[in-house]
C-alpha cells in the first residue's frame, strides 16, 4: 500500500472520506493464518538474529467505555476528560508501526467500538497487513458487525454465568456478551472469550470451558491481580494464592 501523507488532508472528515473509498479488506481463514504465521516467523527470525522490533503491539484506541466494571484496571468509565487520538494521529501511528516491523496488533479501549471511525481504522490496518485481535465488551457488536468482518479475532469479555458475570461487570452485561458471541459466530468471525477470574466467578472456569467447546471458540482466563492503589474498590475480588493454585 502506498504511503499516504495524512497532513495533506484538510482534517479528519476529509481523511474519513478517503478511507471510505478504500477497498474493503476481505479476510479468509487462509489469509488470517498466513498473517499469523508471518508473525511467528518474524518472532523466530528476530530471536535468532537478536533483532529488536515491536512485533506485537497493544494499541489503546480510546479512553472511553460504556461500562463500569468493578475491576477495570484503567477506570475507563471515568476518563471523560482524557483526549483520544484523532483519526489522523491513529493512522500515523499505524504507519509508523508498520515501518518499525509490527506484525500483530491487539486493539482495545476503553470500548473501541465507541470510536466512530473504528471500522475505517481497522480496514486500513488490515490493508496494511497487520494481524488484528480486537477486544470488546460486546454491547455494540450487533450494530457494528459489518466493520468487524475484516478482523482476525474478536475477543469478547465474558466472566461466567449470568449472575457471576454481572457481579463483575454490571447488570445486563451477560446477555449483551452472549448476543455478541452469537452474532460473531453467525458471521464466521474467529471468536475468543476473555474471562477475568475473581472471587465472584472462580467456580465458572469449567462452565466457560464448556461454552467455548460448544461454540468452538477459545477461552482466555486472566487472573485479576492486585493493584490496590488503582482499584481500591475491588480489592476484595482479588484471588488469594491458594485459590489460584487450588
Ligand atoms: S469493558 Fe473493559 S474497559 Fe470497559 S469498564 Fe469494563 S474492563 Fe474497563
**What would you report as the CA-atom Rg of the chain, rounded to the nearest whole angstrom?**
19
If you average pLDDT over residues 32-43, what whole number do you get? Answer: 97
Q: What is the pLDDT of residue 227?
A: 61
- Give the contacts of 246 (CB within 8 A, at least 6 positions apart): none
CA of 105 to the centre of ligand 1 (A): 19
pTM: 0.94
Residue to mutate (ligand 1; options 137, 157, 169; most atoms within 8 A of CB) = 137
Instruction: Give whole-number Cα distances, 25 to 19, 124, 127, in Å.
Output: 12, 8, 6
Give the Cα separation of 35 and 103 in Å (integer). Answer: 8
C-alpha cell at 233: 474498590
Q: DSSP string of 102-117?
A: --EEEEE-S-GGGSTT
As a whole number, mean pLDDT of residues 61-83 equals 85
Domain ranges of the chain: 7-65+76-134, 158-246
Q: Write out pLDDT tens, residues 106-153.
A: 999 999 999 999 999 999 999 999 999 999 999 999 999 999 999 999
Q: CA 207, 213, 217, 222: dihedral to nearest 10 degrees?
A: 30
CB–CB of 191/176 below 8 Å? no
- CB of 137 closer than 6 angstroms to any ligand 1 atom: yes
HSE of 29, CA atoms in CB hemisphere, 13 A = 4
User: Mean per-residue pLDDT for 30-42?
Assistant: 97
Distance CA 239, CA 225 (A): 8
Average pLDDT over residues 212-217: 96
- Closest-CA residue, ligand 1 atom 7, reads 72
d(CA 183, CA 177): 10
Which residue's CA lies nearest to atom 3 of ligand 1?
Answer: 110
Amino acid at each position: 500500500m502506498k504511503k499516504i501523507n495524512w497532513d495533506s488532508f484538510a482534517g479528519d472528515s476529509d481523511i474519513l472520506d478517503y478511507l471510505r473509498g478504500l477497498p474493503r479488506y476481505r479476510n479468509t481463514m487462509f489469509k488470517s493464518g498466513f498473517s499469523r504465521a508471518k508473525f511467528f516467523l518474524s518472532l523466530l527470525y528476530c530471536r535468532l538474529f537478536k533483532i529488536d522490533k515491536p512485533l506485537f503491539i497493544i494499541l489503546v484506541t480510546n479512553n472511553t467505555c460504556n461500562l463500569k466494571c468493578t475491576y477495570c484496571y484503567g477506570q475507563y468509565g471515568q476518563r471523560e476528560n482524557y483526549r483520544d487520538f484523532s483519526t489522523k494521529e491513529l493512522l500515523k501511528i499505524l504507519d509508523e508501526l508498520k515501518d518499525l516491523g509490527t506484525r500483530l496488533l491487539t486493539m482495545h479501549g476503553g470500548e473501541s467500538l465507541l470510536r466512530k471511525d473504528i471500522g475505517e481504522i481497522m480496514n486500513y490496518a488490515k490493508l496494511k497487513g497487520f494481524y488484528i485481535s480486537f477486544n470488546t465488551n460486546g454491547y455494540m457488536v450487533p450494530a457494528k458487525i459489518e466493520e468487524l468482518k475484516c478482523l482476525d479475532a474478536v475477543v469478547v469479555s465474558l466472566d461466567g454465568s449470568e449472575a457471576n458475570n454481572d457481579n463483575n461487570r454490571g447488570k445486563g452485561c451477560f446477555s449483551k456478551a452472549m448476543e455478541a458471541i452469537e452474532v460473531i459466530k453467525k458471521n464466521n468471525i474467529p471468536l475468543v472469550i476473555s474471562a477475568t477470574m475473581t472471587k465472584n466467578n472462580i467456580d465458572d472456569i469449567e462452565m466457560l470451558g464448556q461454552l467455548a467447546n460448544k461454540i468452538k471458540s477459545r477461552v482466555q482466563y486472566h487472573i485479576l491481580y492486585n493493584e490496590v492503589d488503582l482499584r481500591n474498590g475491588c480489592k476484595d475480588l482479588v484471588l488469594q494464592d491458594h485459590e489460584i493454585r487450588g
